[in-house]
Amino acid sequence: HLNFNDPAFDETQEEFFELVNSTGAKIAGVIAGKRYRPDAKYFAGSGKVDEIGEFVEQHHASLVIFNHELSPSQERNLEQRLKCRVLGRTGLILDIFARRARSHEGKLQVELAQLQHLSTRLVRGWTHLERQKGGIGLRGPGETQLETDRRLLGGRIKSLKKRLDKVRSQREQGRRSRQRSGIPVISLVGYTNVGKSSLFNKMTAAGVYADDRLFATLDPTLRRMQLVDTEPLILADTVGFIRQLPHDLVESFSSTLEETRDANLLLHVVDAVAPDRDELMAQVDSVLEQIGAQGVPQLTIYNKIDKANDLQPRIERDQQGQIQRVWLSAQTGEGLELLRLALQERFPADMPYAQPVNP
Ligand code: GDP
């Protein structure tokens, strides 16, 4: 029984809860704990681990997820002591990414990241994957099980990388031909759940998968869009960002994010009524910086104005008179014409756009 209005529940915890929910796992309960100095062996203190253990037994839980990064040995020690599976934050996010990946490339990226994550935890045997298939004939002469496991895993990682390279170079070609065509690319960015897919659908009037769960948009989806009085445009629905995206994951998905770096304009979508709106915007900006997209012009979309009585559709211009902010609702459609106006002003019908932003 969770009460998000309880002051003990901060937004990070609320997000964690949503993340877990989006995996489809049935949550038996949440055990709170604040620890400023993590225990080297178990992350949590001994009393807390006992408490978790009792809870696991009582509810026959099969999985314990920590809202924190765990070291490989902590994860293993916990699994031994709790006698059930244990996931840290990266493991959880990878699981979610795996469910949300839509494109072939996205799926390969997730699998590679999962295997790389697994390989850091490979200390006493990667038993479950290959042994189930028989396992006979896998071990080379004189190899220990661990050495065999390492070799198998290394081989899978290598072959995945090769396949990814191929897919990427195909996408690279597609991107180059889009650039040659001179059609401006507009990329939607923003924190997860702010309404990017909804806006994408409204703008392109196409049925892209949008739902309330997180990461509906792990893969970039491109669509041509023709507005009255503008050039034809390409709208790209990219990734949903989340708080504290582990650094190595940003790496893994960097090629997906490259689309963003090469866009002519970013529509940075924010939830106008979210209490932590500005903090989330800053998080997105910092990811954009990490991938070298900080120089791409941005138009900020304050979405979901229908959720507050005092918000009206409107635009805000900078001192040069350029539209910088649009307040609208992707759901009701109010304010969409203002976004169209902003795009018409930036991409008027008779201007050539053959120059990519980052050649
Ligand atoms: P994304 O993760 O950023 O792509 O977000 P989605 O487009 O999937 O939207 C997340 C949730 O917010 C969905 O439940 C949408 O129905 C809802 N949503 C999107 N736009 C609006 C809006 O303008 N107003 C309201 N009230 N809800 C919206």
Alpha-carbon distance of 251 to 164, in angstroms, equals: 14
Q: Which residues pair with 326 in a beta bridge?
A: 301, 315
pLDDT tens-digit map of 86-110: 998 888 888 877 776 767 777 888 8
Task: Report pLDDT for 253.
Answer: 67
What average pLDDT score do residues 64-89 get?
A: 90
What average pLDDT score do residues 167-188 get?
A: 79
**Any idea which of 59-63, 207-211, 278-282, 300-304 has the lowest mean pLDDT?**
207-211
Pick from 189, 198, 199, 311 the residue to mutate for probing ligand 1's pocket: most ligand atoms within 8 Å of its CB. 198
Going from the C-alpha of 196 to that of each of 86, 234, 279, 291, the distances in angstroms are 32, 15, 18, 20
Please give the angle made by the CA atoms of 331, 335 and 336, to the nearest 5 degrees: 75
Task: Report pLDDT for 132.
Answer: 44
What average pLDDT score do residues 246-261 get?
A: 68
- pLDDT above 60 for 217: no
- pLDDT above 50 for 336: yes
- pLDDT above 60 for 305: yes
What average pLDDT score do residues 242-262 get?
A: 67
Task: Report pLDDT for 347.
Answer: 87
Alpha-carbon distance of 117 to 127, in angstroms, equals: 15
pLDDT tens-digit map of 38-53: 889 999 998 999 999 9
Please identify, by atom number, the ligand 1 atom nearest to the C-alpha of residue 269: 3
| Ligand 1, atom 20, residue with closest C-alpha | 195
Question: Of all residues in the chain, what percent carry a pLDDT higher than 90?
Answer: 29
The complex's ipTM works out to: 0.98
- pLDDT above 90 for 331: yes
- pLDDT above 60 for 215: no
- Cα of 330 vs centre of ligand 1, distance in Å, is 7
Task: Report pLDDT for 211.
Answer: 44
CB 269, CB 199: distance < 8 Å: yes
Alpha-carbon distance of 14 to 20, in angstroms, equals: 10
Alpha-carbon distance of 75 to 42, in angstroms, equals: 7
| CA torsion through residues 324, 330, 334, 337, sign | positive
Is the Cβ atom of 216 under 6 angstroms away from ligand 1?
Answer: yes
Residue 238 backbone phi and psi in degrees, to 5: -105, -135
Indicate the average pLDDT of the chain.
78
| CA torsion through residues 273, 279, 284, 288, sign | positive
